[in-house]
Structure 1
Amino acid sequence: MMEEIRIVKDSFRILVVNPLIDYTKYGIFENDTSLYEWDVPVKKEWEKLSIHEQAKYRTKSIINHIEDIGIGLTSIDAVCGRGGLLRPISGGTYRINEKMINDLEQARYGFHVSNFGALIANKIEEKLNIPSYIADPVVVDEMMDLAKSTGLPKRKRKSIFHALNQKSVAREIASQLNANYDDLCFVIAHLGGGVTVGAHQYGRVIDVNNGFDGEGPMSFERAGSIPNHHLIDMCFLEGKTEKQIKQKIIFESGLKSYLEIQDFDELDRAYAERQKETEEVFDILAYQVSKEIGKMSAALSGNVNAIGLTGNLANYSYLTDKIINQTSWIADVYIMPGENVLSSLYQAAYRVLTEQEQAIQY
């Protein structure tokens, strides 16, 4: 276990890292203000390297860029990276340790580009002698045992969702209500490439649809839950391989399939050029998301202090208005578009450095 580094001061400068496939996004925050944000490109030749080596080069490119823009490395108090695929854990801010690094480098629980978040943060810690963290990775599992059960005793539902953004949005809504996240109940819907709707009960997400597999509502690219016989037909009657079926229902369905688009820029163009057609598809998505919000409200026994809509699709007022019209009888609806990964990571590390919460050991 790495030795804990304790800092006591009033102002903190925190480096945050969000690794993506083609680039690494990083930012430097201080006093709730973003001082600098940048996308550092990833070179294609790095793809052939080991996870460890790729992390080393991504880290070096960030350090070099910070030095080039003239920000002193010694002024940075902590670093927080996006969490990757780890074993199921409860929500919170985790101190990066050797066990976590080993699990990520060996991809013990699967590989995703987010795995680089902790690896990069750890290497920056070693160079600058500052504490490193991750916060609320997608594998956060706070679900009730009852919520994991299915009609097949040996098949359990898994908790994989946009934990970082959902919890960040819930905390912000709680702040607007002059309350603490741990004292209220929320239904938070993240609307993006995947859609996840979580039931937040006093600081824990007791039920949520699995956004990675595409359970629940459809999304920008996922099919969502589909009738069993359709899935069985795809497996046995249409001659598709397992890989082809997963590719179709996880990455080539939803809005992408209906509108024959590939990315959010094309969605913007479709909405501008084919407004009626696009709105008809939004109607489907809004209906499915509203139903999921209703399900999660039932999981909370109707005790819902607020509903939050977030993610990139929350930028479309036609879509959010439809959801509000169908769910506002449950509770007030707050719209907070985007994913806000960097600021959420900053807030997580800041809460630990200011001793508002304790870092968790993995």
Structure 2
Amino acid sequence: MVKKKLILVINPGSTSTKAACFQEKKLVNSREILHGAEELKNFSSINEQLEFRKEAVLSYLRENGLGPEDLQAIACRGGNVGQLEPGAYEVDQAFVEASFHSETPHPANLSPIIGYEIAKEVNEKLGRTPDSPDALKAYVYDPVCGCGIPEKLYTITGIPEIEKPFLTHVLNSRAVSIEEAKREGKKLEETCYIVAHLGGGITVNLLKGGRILDLVGDDEGGFSPERSGGLSVRLLTKLCYSGRYTEQEMQKRLKGKGGLMAYLGMNDLREVEKKIAQGDKQAALILDAMILQTAKDIVSLGAVTCGKIDKIILTGGMAHSKMLTDKLRERVEFLAPVDVIAGTYEMEALAFGILRVLRGEEKARRLPGQTKKD
């Protein structure tokens, strides 16, 4: 029997839905529900996956014997709902609408919707109104759009109608920056880190004082396991107008079927390394190209602070690869010392962020234009 109430964490990804419960800072249980290609092909859009993903979370709760009375708060990964400051946001109907109609389709957009619906159902079952002091609430912490409002200097591109988007792995990049500052015995506000998140998509982020100052997004830098990265706009435009692909097919080539997937037919770095160990020269060449391009992205952000970087942090799932991190280190450590914090800390970052809200150490905002009811 659970004595203290729990924070439920919901984190949908491209091929899985992660759910976990934390009792303050202690992980009580967790589950990663994998979604195979055969399951997902039945949905024509990510929004159509809403009930499917929600049921995955509810089944996790049932399997662990958790009921409505066990939950204290729901912490949700957030997608793109417009440029926001980092930190916590209370999910209301406006946040739900913004998530559902996001211009950037991603399973993360479903997380606050799922959390909001579960909270609403729990409150109704327990006879609480949304404004009751003991009402269960859903929150988002450090959404992908939570870089803050960037300085104009960093948003200018070669076409006035297109501004550089500030969408990145905010949650994990800030979490490992906080961890690195603790390791060094520094205040976060005094640090300047470059964080390379090495996952299915690769982003490189310059964090000064814990805030993202500039970045290389997953669609503008080097390629990654599933994404094409930046391409020659001349050749890309020609391909788009060749008549060979629909817009949806091109989007999939850029994000989902690009990068390692396009060259090698696989997006799992471990499988690529097996091929290299077996003497596959093409696999070795493509991986070296990805590493080189990532290194160039990392070093490019050094120009923003005139080379004044405290540490380069390599994180994300691919940071578990010694082959990859050693080769990256060799190319970038002339700029700053390199630390590896492998894996992702998204579940902990979500839970701990909302715990700080519950303790009164941080305040949860609402979307701009929304006011909190008394």
What RMSD, in angstroms, separates the aligned Cα atoms of the two structures? Answer: 2.9
Per the alignment, residue 232 of structure 1 pairs with 237
Per the alignment, residue 142 of structure 2 pairs with 136
Does structure 1 conserve the Cα–Cα contact (< 8 Å) formed by 2:50 and 2:114?
yes
Does structure 1 conserve the Cα–Cα contact (< 8 Å) formed by 2:225 and 2:267?
no
Does structure 2 conserve the Cα–Cα contact (< 8 Å) formed by 1:187 and 1:308?
yes
Does structure 2 conserve the Cα–Cα contact (< 8 Å) formed by 1:259 and 1:270?
no
Per the alignment, residue 330 of structure 1 pairs with 335
1:336 Cα offset (Å): 1.6
Query: How do residues 182-201 of structure 1 correspond to structure 2 at under 5 angstroms?
Result: 182-201=189-208
Does structure 1 conserve the Cα–Cα contact (< 8 Å) formed by 2:46 and 2:105?
no
Per the alignment, residue 81 of structure 1 pairs with 76
2:152 is matched by which residue type in structure 1?
D
Does structure 1 conserve the Cα–Cα contact (< 8 Å) formed by 2:176 and 2:345?
no
The one of 99, 114, 118 equivalent to 2:108 is 114
Q: Is it true that 1:125 corresponds to 2:119 in the alignment?
A: yes
Once residues 167 and 220 of structure 1 are traced to their aligned partners in structure 2, the CA distance between those partners, rounded to angstroms, is: 23
Per the alignment, residue 96 of structure 1 pairs with 91
Once residues 271 and 49 of structure 1 are traced to their aligned partners in structure 2, the CA distance between those partners, rounded to angstroms, is: 36
Q: Which moved more, 1:287-296 or 1:128-137?
A: 128-137
Does structure 2 conserve the Cα–Cα contact (< 8 Å) formed by 1:56 and 1:123?
no
Normalised TM-score (structure 1)? 0.85
Cα 1:221/1:274, change in 2 over 3 Å: farther
For 1:66-98, what per-residue CA distance to the aligned partner results, in whole angstroms no more than 9, with x for missing partners? Answer: 244234542332110111231121211111122
Per the alignment, residue 18 of structure 1 pairs with 11
For 1:200-246, what per-residue CA distance to the aligned partner results, in whole angstroms no more than 9, with x for missing partners? Answer: 111221111222xx211111122222233322332345744433333
2:222 is matched by which residue type in structure 1?
P
Cα 1:98/1:319, change in 2 over 3 Å: same
| Structure 1: tracts of 5 or more residues without a match | 1-10
Once residues 93 and 328 of structure 2 are traced to their aligned partners in structure 1, the CA distance between those partners, rounded to angstroms, is: 44
- SS of the aligned residue for 1:360 comes to coil
Q: Is it true that 1:281 corresponds to 2:286 in the alignment?
A: yes
Once residues 119 and 310 of structure 1 are traced to their aligned partners in structure 2, the CA distance between those partners, rounded to angstroms, is: 28
Cα 1:238/1:348, change in 2 over 3 Å: same
Q: Identity percentage over the alignment?
A: 26
2:185 is matched by which residue type in structure 1?
N
Q: Is it true that 1:345 corresponds to 2:339 in the alignment?
A: no
Normalised TM-score (structure 2)? 0.82
2:70 is matched by which residue type in structure 1?
S
Q: Would you say how many aligned residue pairs link Structure 1 and Structure 2?
A: 348
Per the alignment, residue 221 of structure 1 pairs with 226
Cα 1:39/1:325, change in 2 over 3 Å: closer
Does structure 2 conserve the Cα–Cα contact (< 8 Å) formed by 1:12 and 1:350?
no
- SS of the aligned residue for 1:361 comes to coil
| Structure 2: tracts of 5 or more residues without a match | 124-134, 368-374
Per the alignment, residue 3 of structure 1 pairs with none
Per the alignment, residue 70 of structure 1 pairs with 65
2:304 is matched by which residue type in structure 1?
A
2:342 is matched by which residue type in structure 1?
P
Per the alignment, residue 8 of structure 1 pairs with none
2:64 is matched by which residue type in structure 1?
I
Q: Is it true that 1:181 corresponds to 2:181 in the alignment?
A: no
- SS of the aligned residue for 2:255 comes to helix
Q: Is it true that 1:207 corresponds to 2:200 in the alignment?
A: no
1:320 Cα offset (Å): 0.8
